[in-house]
Structure 1
Amino acid sequence: MVSVDQPSSVLEPAMVARAHRAVEPLHSHMYFAPEHDEKLGALGLKPGRMSYFAGRAAPMGAVGAGVVTATFYNFSPSLVAHMIPRAWSLASPEHILAARLDIARSSLTRLLGAEAAGSAEVAELAELLREACAVLTPEGRALYAGHADLPWPEEPLLALWHGATLLREHRGDGHIAVLLHAGLTGLEALVTHTATGRGFTEPAARATRGWKEDEWAAACAALADRGLLDDAGLTDDGTSLRAHIETQTDALSADPWLLLGPERTARVVELGKGLSRRLVASGAFGAGIFAGS
């Protein structure tokens, strides 16, 4: 395991973040795809947050709202409790998991195009991600562990999606550990990330995560008291803290790329960026959701 204080010299430190950014959209596009609400809605789930919570949590089984709040981290607990555990009375985790594979296949095929979805590049990237995931371990990473218990799909397009999912959830669990060590609540983490100008826009963050205006304002005030935020945005200390969080998150998620080594990690970046750009060009992520979109 790579130390969080000492990034490996085998890879350029920036390569870990590049690999994450190249691959992650191959998973996360699903939550913005019309197929997501359509197919989960056919099971009886409500569109939007209920489908999202149930879909992403289903690998852990029919867990309660507390587990979802803990593992998803930056969502309002009241929003989660409004959807979970009621979702499990409408659709079983097993049916939801089967639907998720259908969603991944349909959305990726539509956004990439049938030819690209069945290409040698997709198969190559799927194999690289499967090898990269072999080094991942579940200790302290509950959401990843649930996904890791699922079998690998044989279909290359779905194996690609599954590999991207495992890497994303493993990194996310590590990111939460770093945020906790930095003393940031889920809401404070969301506010500071939004303030970097590289994540959700503030309206999108508040709408999708379920935070009320007074809750958001209280978090901003608490961050200001710590010297991390002011009326202009992140202070120098706030910017430094966010940079430190990203550096430590990269260190905690470096093992898959250390396993592949510099050349094959560079190939992951090349293939992943090419496919992810196709997703974006096809409208996978709507306007106004992310800063700069």
Structure 2
Amino acid sequence: MSHPQPQVRRMFELIEPMATATFSGICNDEFLALGCRNYWDGYFAGRAAPLGQAPAEVVDAVFYNFAPGEVARHIPYVWSLMTPEKALAVREQGSARAVRHGLGELADSLLVERAAELALRAGTSAPTEGRVLYAGLRAVPVPEEPVARLWHATTLLREHRGDGHNVALAAHGIGRTEAHVLLALSLDMPAEEFGRVSHLPRAQLAAVVDGLRERGLVTAEGGFTDAGRERKRSIEALTDELAAPAYDALSPAELDELVAALEPLSAAVAAADL
């Protein structure tokens, strides 16, 4: 079954606030209570936990777009504080608490149960070939509580899409730091101001931008060329295409129902202070 690409793209927009509640201050507090030194310790512990105690080199490859050496600042240190199993439990608990806080009165509605049911069916039926982080998350037990179940389902869909996005970046010859430069430019932000790469030595970041300029993707002033804008569009289009099989388990009517159910839920979480 092939759903329209705009519908697949809309699902990305709707699952993002739900799944990224795991990166909220509410969830971060759970990790800090275990001795994490900062936000990024908790981030890497929770997100890498489905891979088990994989070395930094493996996590770095799977995550794709962190600056060289960044993962090693946190992996394997975080495993001296907790096991991956503990990190998974803490992540689920904190994320569900954050989503529930964002949903407010909607948290106990039938919309949550139905959205979780449909999203989970999609999230547990996508192909795992070449999707390392998604495959790891598929092996994690599914929560029973409806809000936690919805968060887990949207996270499955997000990581499936994220693995595909890495494929799209590699297929278009875009490396880890280059990916962040292109994202910054798509946000009308100079690369030097983008949080994911602004901490890099200026010479290192300048070399990346110069390389994109030599490839005709970035202008002398540091903005997109037409070719650069088209490359970014093509990457996003391929990412959407690779994400589409996750929704083949749903009929067109069920996908429409899922979108309709997620719209008020996602809007509530996106508007909340988490």
Q: Shorter-chain TM-score: which interval?
A: over 0.9
1:214 is displaced (CA, Å) by 2.5
1:38 aligns with 2:29: yes
Q: How does 1:112-191 map to 2 (within 5 A)?
A: 112-113=103-104, 115-191=105-181
Partner of 1:289: none
SS in 2 for 1:234: coil
Q: Deviations over 1:90-120 (max 9, x none)?
A: 111111111111102211121211x211211
1:125 is displaced (CA, Å) by 0.2
Partner amino acid for 1:166?
L
Label 1:140 to 1:279 Cα distance change in 2 as closer, same or farther (>3 A): same
Partner amino acid for 1:26?
M
Partner of 1:229: 218
1:283 aligns with 2:273: yes
1:283 is displaced (CA, Å) by 2.7
Partner of 2:184: 194
Partner of 2:45: 54
Q: Deviations over 1:222-243 (max 9, x none)?
A: 0000000111511110111111
Partner amino acid for 2:92?
L
TM-score (norm 2): 0.93
1:135 is displaced (CA, Å) by 2.1
Label 1:35 to 1:216 Cα distance change in 2 as closer, same or farther (>3 A): same
What are the ranges of 5 or more consecutive residues in structure 2 without an aligned counterpart? none
1:215 is displaced (CA, Å) by 2.2
1:220 aligns with 2:209: yes
Range that drifts further, 257-266 or 75-84: 257-266
TM-score (norm 1): 0.87
How large is the RMSD of aligned CA atoms in angstroms? 1.9
Partner residue of 2:16 out of 13, 24, 34: 24
Between the two proteins, the alignment pairs up a number of residues equal to: 272
Q: Deviations over 1:227-264 (max 9, x none)?
A: 00111511110111111111111111101223313222
Label 1:134 to 1:146 Cα distance change in 2 as closer, same or farther (>3 A): closer
Q: Deviations over 1:145-186 (max 9, x none)?
A: 111100111111111011101111111111101111111101
Query: d(CA) in 1 for partners of 2:58 and 2:189?
Result: 25
Range that drifts further, 258-267 or 164-173: 258-267
Partner amino acid for 1:278?
A
Partner of 2:74: 83
Range that drifts further, 197-206 or 90-99: 197-206
What are the ranges of 5 or more consecutive residues in structure 1 without an aligned counterpart? 1-7, 285-293
Where does structure 1 differ by over 6 angstroms across 4 or more consecutive aligned residues? 198-201
Q: How does 1:1-12 map to 2 (within 5 A)?
A: 10-12=2-4
Q: Percent identity?
A: 37
Partner of 1:66: 57
Partner of 2:99: 108
SS in 2 for 1:243: helix
Query: d(CA) in 2 for partners of 1:261 and 1:281?
Result: 30
